[in-house]
Amino acid sequence: MYVHRLFPKLLLFVYRKPAWKDGTTALCVLVADNNLYIANLGDSRAIMCRMNEETQKPTVLSLSKEHNPTQYEERMRIQRAGGNVRDGRVLGVLEVSRSLGDGQFKRCGVINTPDVKRCPITNSDRFVLLACDGLFKAFSAEEAVNFILSQVQDESTQAEEGPGDIDMRYESACHRLANEAVRRGAADNVTILIVQIQH
């Protein structure tokens, strides 16, 4: 970053190297040829709701892998790089073992390489839930999926918003799920995206 100030007859240029102290997780989904491709790093999660056609009960599929420093492979990489895991965190500070940024932890084995998965889309799939760890500190994956389904299938919601407006019901379910996570005491960031799968 260049900063300049003009003083009487003096021009001062200062160069500061970016510190990259902050970091973030990353999660993205690509749909191609009836397949979902999911790339993630960190502790944000992607889960899919797939309905059992016989029982009409949801099955929750995990589409991402959490990168936690307490997992064996992640911990071994951190230790080989000279870092350590204390209280479930890298150097007792960072809660994830992979991230974008967090430059001061890269020398300790924290990497920015995502895991990539492929999942074929079936006629039984209803939606994909993408959310950061704040949601999952208040809800299990199964609870979140059941909460969304209850909101989307709720007859009073359908009466308010109209039976044909499924998009509005999913949007409403997204807001209500985030609000409920905060109400339950999620002190972390709660970011949620629900992607409806239409057939």
Q: What counts of helices (H) and strands (E) characterise the chain?
A: 5, 13
One-letter amino acid at 110 equals V
| Per-residue pLDDT tens over the stretch 49-61 | 999 888 889 999 9
Superfamily of domain 20-196: PPM-type phosphatase domain (3.60.40.10)
| Per-residue pLDDT tens over the stretch 21-38 | 788 999 999 999 999 999
Give the residue extent of every domain in the chain. 20-196
Q: How confident is the model at residue 188 (pLDDT cuts 50, 70, 90)?
A: confident
Q: How confident is the model at residue 185 (pLDDT cuts 50, 70, 90)?
A: confident
Check pLDDT > 80 for residue 8. no
In whole angstroms, give the CA distance from residue 74 to residue 111: 10
| pLDDT top residue among 185 and 14 | 185
- pTM of the shown model: 0.81
Check pLDDT > 70 for residue 14. no
Report the pLDDT value the prediction gives residue 166, as an integer from 0 to 100.
85
Check pLDDT > 50 for residue 5. no
| Per-residue pLDDT tens over the stretch 137-171 | 999 999 999 999 999 987 655 555 555 688 899 99
In whole angstroms, give the CA distance from residue 125 to residue 199: 9
In whole angstroms, give the CA distance from residue 43 to residue 100: 12
Token pair, residue 149, equals: 């389904």
| Sheet-wide strand order for 45-51 | 58-62, 45-51, 125-131, 192-196
In whole angstroms, give the CA distance from residue 172 to residue 179: 11
| Per-residue pLDDT tens over the stretch 65-99 | 999 999 999 999 999 999 999 999 999 999 999 99
